[in-house]
Amino acid sequence: QKEVEQNSGPLSVPEGAIASLNCTYSDRGSQSFFWYRQYSGKSPELIMFIYSNGDKEDGRFTAQLNKASQYVSLLIRDSQPSDSATYLCAVYNQAGTALIFGKGTTLSVSS
Amino acid sequence: SQTIHQWPATLVQPVGSPLSLECTVEGTSNPNLYWYRQAAGRGLQLLFYSVGIGQISSEVPQNLSASRPQDRQFILSSKKLLLSDSGFYLCAWTAANNQPQHFGDGTRLSIL
């Protein structure tokens, strides 16, 4: 059974700080990696995706991928109270057909 | 632009009753379609996915079934609901394998 592991949190950071969210995955054949944000009672919203080793930046968000270590991370700079949500890491299986989700990390940003 | 519609938003059903949830996608052709369930306090569980009309793959054994009668329509069904079927049901689409998936607003299903 392929797995995606995340620390459930809660991760608490003050407003303006950097939030660091981590994820490990078990399928060495996975080629694509995603971060979703889910507010309470709402559906997941895509915020970042990454396919190659290294960093990918989009505004205040940076996704980092290390395939050798099977590790994906998300950095949120200048955290805002509106960033308070559950962040889901997701990894496709080797065939690229099924997206496997971690259970999510809850982030709380205090003002 | 592409949009995904899911309905109803909320549903309360008695144990043993049937279920039909519908999902449609607009603005794209031949999408991959997915049904997920999120139980309270748990992660997203992939239930079914489809890469084309009439092609359904099941990820977990259960009393649910899925059908894709048209290119952009995906239906989740059950003949007899169980208490354990309660949860937040989400439909998602993607343009191709390994591409980002986009979710509908979800259906919150409560079984009494």
CB B25 within 8 A of CB B31: yes
Residue B44: list chain A partners with CB under 8 A.
Answer: 44, 88, 101
Residue A2 has pLDDT above 80, yes or no: no
Are B101 and A95 inside 8 Å of each other by CB? no
- Nearest chain A Cα to B34, which residue? A98
State the residue for tokens 């299903």.
Answer: B109
**SS3 category, B84:** helix
Pick from B44, B51, B100: CB nearest A49: B100
Chain A CB within 8 Å of residue B61 CB: no
pLDDT given at position A8: 86
Residue A81, φ and ψ in degrees, nearest 5: -55, -30
pLDDT given at position A69: 95
pLDDT given at position B42: 79
pLDDT digits (tens, 9 = 90+) for A56-105: 999 999 999 999 999 999 999 999 999 999 999 999 999 999 999 999 99
Q: How distant is the Cα of A19 from the closest Cα of chain B, in angstroms?
A: 21
pLDDT given at position B43: 86
State the residue for tokens 């065939």.
Answer: A95
| Ranges assigned E (strand) in B29-98 | 32-38, 44-52, 55-58, 64-70, 73-78, 87-94
Are B51 and A92 inside 8 Å of each other by CB? no
List, in sequence order, every residue forming a beta bridge with A24; answer none if it has no partner: A5, A71
Q: How distant is the Cα of B92 from the closest Cα of chain A, in angstroms?
A: 10
Are B43 and A103 inside 8 Å of each other by CB? yes
pLDDT given at position B73: 97
Residue A1 has pLDDT above 90, yes or no: no
Instruction: Name all contacts of B23-30 with Cβ < 8 Å and 24+ positions apart.
Output: B23/B73, B23/B74, B23/B75, B23/B76, B23/B91, B23/B104, B24/B72, B24/B73, B24/B74, B25/B72, B25/B93, B26/B2, B26/B72, B27/B1, B27/B2, B27/B3, B28/B2, B28/B72, B28/B93, B28/B95, B29/B71, B29/B72, B30/B71
**Rounded to an integer, what distance in angstroms lies between the CA atom of residue A104 and that of residue B90?**
16
Mean pLDDT of chain A: 95
pLDDT given at position B61: 65
Are A97 and B59 inside 8 Å of each other by CB? no
pLDDT digits (tens, 9 = 90+) for B25-83: 999 999 999 999 998 877 899 999 999 999 999 888 679 999 999 999 999 999 999 99
Work out the average pLDDT over B14-18.
Answer: 97
Residues near B23 by Cβ (< 8 Å), separated by ≥ 6? B4, B5, B6, B33, B35, B73, B74, B75, B76, B91, B104
**Rounded to an integer, what distance in angstroms lies between the CA atom of residue A15 and that of residue A6?**
23
Chain A CB within 8 Å of residue B42 CB: yes
Are B97 and A97 inside 8 Å of each other by CB? yes
